[in-house]
């Protein structure tokens, strides 16, 4: 007799409204009709040890991360370089990686991927001593994330409010980037360290990024006159930012970035700390994810 599939659900109640008591009933009904075993871990903060224990004790084939990019990052850091697959069930404020992988917006459609989804290995990015699944950065967006974290409101409107506030401040930084035996000194308002292509807002910051090509990109937004703010935002949402004179991309496998002054680092929507140096390295095909086989995925190479 074939072993029943085991699915572990990791639910972050803080990240959104979907993670409530009704989800248990929906999961139970879906598991019964699709003949798989499941367990649920529901936590609100600092639950890494609890997830690790559940993975060790239950030995799941799939772990479903019910939350935002921070929850996805935490689960991925635990199951990376294993045969366990990650299924994202978006329940955060922006859900950038879910959008990147074209994960359905509804819970029933997400659950159906447990049986009918396609597994695909993608790269991860090591950022200092942490992994990044989606995007990490220093500069402009990191400061926006900080403002967003301090704001009691959530959603894209709140993010957009802080975006435009920070863009009018436009702090400039000096960075030294060492990559592929090259050294580059740049002035920038932000550096994004990207395996994925776009923010949770759907604004594209890494137009030619591929999730499993063994490379990551350093996306440089150079200082620009304030009257270009609207145009640059428009280019990002229209996926034409690569044609801007204020934008540059470096394709790397390893890199070291130093800043003349300590600056805030964010990783997958979570604030890290102020840093003066960032060490970056691709972890090729280190994470197995589940995607919809009926959709084209231009950022994944089969």
Task: Return the CATH number at 13.
Answer: 3.40.50.10330
Q: Is residue 299 part of a domain?
A: no
Q: Are residues 116 and 182 in the same domain?
A: no
How far apart CA 185 and CA 175 sit, in angstroms, is 6
Q: Are residues 105 and 149 in the same domain?
A: no
Residue whose C-alpha is closest to residue 37's, from 78, 6, 12, 80: 6
Cα angle 123, 96, 111 (rounded to 5 degrees) comes to 85
Distance of CA 93 to the CA centre of its chain: 12
CA dihedral 121, 126, 132, 137 (to 10 degrees): -140
What is the DSSP secondary structure assignment for residue 4, as one 8-state letter?
A: P
The token pair at 101 is 């992988």
Q: Is residue 138 part of a domain?
A: yes
Q: Are residues 119 and 11 in the same domain?
A: yes
Model pLDDT, residue 91: 85
Q: Are residues 24 and 100 in the same domain?
A: yes
Residue whose C-alpha is closest to residue 75's, from 47, 94, 102, 96: 47
Q: Is residue 298 part of a domain?
A: no
> 276 pairs with which residues across the strands?
none
How far apart CA 209 and CA 127 sit, in angstroms, is 17
Model pLDDT, residue 148: 55
**Positions of the chain with pLDDT under 50:** 1, 16-19, 150-151, 154, 162
Number of domains in the chain: 2
Neighbours of 22 (CB within 10 A): 10
Range of the domain at 143: 130-284
Model pLDDT, residue 204: 93
Q: Are residues 116 and 143 in the same domain?
A: no
Q: Are residues 40 and 139 in the same domain?
A: no
The terminus-to-terminus CA distance of the chain in angstroms comes to 32
Model pLDDT, residue 284: 97
Q: Are residues 260 and 147 in the same domain?
A: yes
């Amino acid at each position: 007799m074939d072993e029943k599939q085991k699915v572990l659900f990791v639910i972050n109640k803080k990240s959104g409204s979907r993670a409530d008591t009704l989800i248990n009933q929906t999961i139970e009904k879906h598991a019964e009709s699709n003949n798989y075993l499941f367990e649920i871990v529901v936590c609100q903060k600092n639950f890494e040890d609890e997830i690790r224990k559940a993975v060790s004790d239950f030995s799941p084939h799939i772990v479903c991360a019910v939350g935002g990019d921070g929850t996805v990052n935490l689960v991925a850091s635990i199951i990376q370089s294993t045969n366990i697959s990650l299924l994202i069930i978006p329940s955060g404020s922006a859900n950038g990686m879910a959008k990147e992988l074209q994960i359905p917006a509804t819970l029933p459609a997400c659950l159906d991927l447990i049986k009918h989804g396609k597994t695909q290995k993608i790269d991860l990015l090591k950022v200092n001593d942490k992994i990044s699944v989606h995007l990490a950065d220093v500069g402009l967006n990191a400061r926006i994330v900080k403002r967003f974290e301090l704001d009691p409101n959530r959603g894209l409107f709140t993010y957009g409010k802080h975006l435009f506030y920070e863009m009018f401040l436009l702090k400039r930084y000096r960075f030294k980037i060492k990559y592929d035996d090259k050294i580059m000194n740049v002035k920038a308002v932000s550096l994004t360290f990207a395996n994925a292509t776009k923010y949770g807002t759907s604004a594209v910051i890494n137009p030619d990024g591929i999730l499993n090509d063994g490379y990551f990109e350093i996306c440089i937004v150079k200082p620009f006159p304030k009257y270009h703010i609207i145009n640059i935002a428009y280019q990002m949402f229209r996926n034409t930012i690569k044609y801007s004179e204020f934008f540059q991309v470096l394709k790397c496998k390893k890199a070291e970035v130093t800043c003349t002054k300590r600056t805030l680092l964010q990783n997958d929507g979570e604030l890290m700390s102020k840093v003066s140096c960032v060490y970056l390295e691709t972890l090729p095909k280190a994470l197995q994810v589940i995607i919809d086989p009926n959709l084209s995925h231009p950022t994944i190479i089969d």
